[in-house]
Amino acid sequence: MSSRPVIRLRPKTDPRRIRRGFPWVYDNELVVDRRTKALEPGSIATLEDADRQPLATVAVNPNSKIMGRVLDLDPEAEVGHDWLAGRLRAALDLRDMLYDAPFYRLVHAEADGFPGTVIDRFGEACVIQPNSAWIEARFDDLADVLSEVSGVTTIFKNAGGRARGLEGLDDASLVARGALSGAVRVPMNGATYLADLEGGQKTGLFYDQRPNHAFVQRLARGTEVLDVFSHVGGFALAALVGGATRALAVDGSAPALALAAQGAEATGVADRFETRQADAFDALTALAEEGRTFGTVVCDPPAFAPSKNALDAGLRAYERVARLAAPLVAPGGTVTLCSCSHAVDLDAFRTACLRGIGRAGRKVQILRTGFAGPDHPLHPSLTESGYLKAMTFRLLP
């Protein structure tokens, strides 16, 4: 262990936060000298407090504001095959308890002990998003261990997304193991979804909304449904399985809507399903002008506030969605509004939604506040791991 690099907290940096489990060490909390700056991104190092007492094993990236990512509170942990396998087995054990079929988020970054790493499973295939330098440097090792532990035969490396850019990483995606041939069928809440693992958004499907799909599925019985920002038909297909009379899916992506239509065919609800390709805000305005109303409305937009710098603009966008959606809800119907923005906390999101609905002249009851499913566990010290909020309102007659 003597050859391992050492990085050290500044004298005014309190080490207790690390000891209690906080997984990040920022560059302004560390003594950053020439030796530290020269470390290879993804290097494994020992983190010491200002008194030179070992605190943890960390991954270092001098190019990132999060310069240290805590991998293990054992300062002498060896991050190799056995370490990776142990973490993956623990993650797989949880999902085996939760789900009967192998379709879920297998690794949810820090909350599963893999900082900056996401793995979604689609039966015999997995999509890995290595969003931090330490796992990028060990991607081949991770892929080997993942195949060994889970038995998957196909692994796709998804190198898209904002997080990799912040780590100084490239955007070159590739099929790392096996082969992909077309969209993958994913059973969820009684519906069948089509996920494009190579060319779709994120990893191809949003598993995080599973419990919120299920709640809307119950609410939507006997109603007509509007699913805006629908991607591959997430809420719409679940609602149709649950007994909705019809569903309209709106999205700006033609490929996503094509997959939604294929999912409707596979689910056996195509005769009650239609799509509209349009900008979501334009579609909401147009539907109001057409005099359309729906018993169940859902708006699940992309992250309007991906960072704190975008917070104010993001909250205005969420308020606008609520204001435009509210007139489309039939008296006594429901609207579910979602946010996947890390920078927007629940109170701010709720306030934006209520302000928008109020400006549309509607009165509401708050029925439910939903979050991501249990395959997206929360890290107790990292609020960012609980990014998803889904609020369901009943609009009073």
Neighbours of 332 (CB within 10 A): 11
* Rounded Cα gap, residues 130 and 137, in angstroms: 9
Domains of the chain in start order, with CATH, are 6-72 (2.30.130.10), 81-177 (3.30.750.80), 184-395 (3.40.50.150)
Query: Above 90 in pLDDT, residue 335?
Result: yes
Q: How do residues 353-396 score in pLDDT, each as one tens digit?
A: 999 999 999 999 999 999 999 999 999 999 888 899 999 999 99
pLDDT at 1: 47
Residue 2, pLDDT above cutoff 80: no
Half-sphere CA count of 312, side-chain side, radius 13 A: 1
Read off the pTM.
Answer: 0.95
Residue-averaged pLDDT of the chain: 96
What is each CA distance from 298 to 213, 220, 247, in whole angstroms?
10, 11, 11
Nearest-10 crossing angle of helices 139-150, 81-98: 50
Q: If we measure between CA atoms, which residue out of 370, 395, 371 comes closest to residue 385?
A: 371
**Statement: residue 176 has pLDDT above 90:** yes
pLDDT at 273 over 90: yes
Q: Answer whether 149's CB lies under 8 Å from 134's CB.
A: no
Query: Which one-letter amino acid corresponds to residue 172?
Result: A
CA distance 108 to 371: 14
Q: 312 CB contacts (<8 Å, ≥6 apart)? A: none
**pLDDT single digits (tens) 56-106:** 999 999 999 999 999 999 999 999 999 999 999 999 999 999 999 999 999
Mean pLDDT of 103-127: 98
